[in-house]
Chains A and B, each alone.
Chain A
Amino acid sequence: DTGVSQDPRHKITKRGQNVTFRCDPISEHNRLYWYRQTLGQGPEFLTYFQNEAQLEKSRLLSDRFSAERPKGSFSTLEIQRTEQGDSAMYLCASGSGRAYEQYFGPGTRLTVT
């Protein structure tokens, strides 16, 4: 069990550029979550996958955001036309079985200049 991994760990981009983040969950975990955390706040839910199906999206997830989980394994989160307000830590978590337990990755810190 290698834990949840995320790539990249840090991303600096200019406003208007597109960025894509990757999350590799713990093997065999069928649930995968994306959260966003801004400075001084707790993580906020963005979206949820069960296997390859995206079952819930938060209102925080504007149409510039898209997430996928092909084949129910790794997931990607893409942000198009980034804005300075997108600067945050993007966290991925996975879970299985006892659904209330989620295991978090180290996060991807996005800075939009």
Chain B
Amino acid sequence: GNSVTQMEGPVTLSEEAFLTINCTYTATGYPSLFWYVQYPGEGLQLLLKATKADDKGSNKGFEATYRKETTSFHLEKGSVQVSDSAVYFCALSVTGANSKLTFGKGITLSVRP
């Protein structure tokens, strides 16, 4: 079946620190990969996506590269801000499987001033 594994959290960083959140996956078929973010009191929002190997998704200073050889989609940001404090979910969907999303457990990021 399909599954997503995220690194254990929570993660606490100082403002302007470098961020890496690890995500690996297993999938039957060829998946598209996503990072969703949930800010406090808000719904899930799509942060970025990649639909084929070696694609790089980017948004709001965050980046993630679809690595088929390591089945990974790690999220990075060069300099985090307090406003990046949120819960981050890695997810995948497989074309032809009704495109339903399979999520990781999520990781809470707290950025202190």
Contacts and interface: CB of A to CB of B under 8 A. Distances in A.
B93 interface: yes
Interface string B35-69: 01000001111100101000000000000000000
Contact of B102 (A45, A50, A93): A45
A97 to B, nearest CB: 11
A25 interface: no
Interface in A52-87: 55-56
A104 B99 contact: no
Interface residues of B, number: 24
Contacts of A95: 99
B44 A44 contact: no
- With a 10 A CB-CB cut-off, give which of B93, B95, B100 has the most chain A CB atoms: B100
Nearest to B104: A42
Contact of B43 (A33, A56, A100, A104): A104
Given A31-B99, A44-B103, A100-B51, 16 more contacts: A40-B105, A41-B106, A42-B89, A42-B91, A42-B103, A43-B44, A48-B100, A56-B98, A91-B43, A93-B101, A100-B99, A102-B46, A104-B44, A105-B43, A106-B42, A107-B43
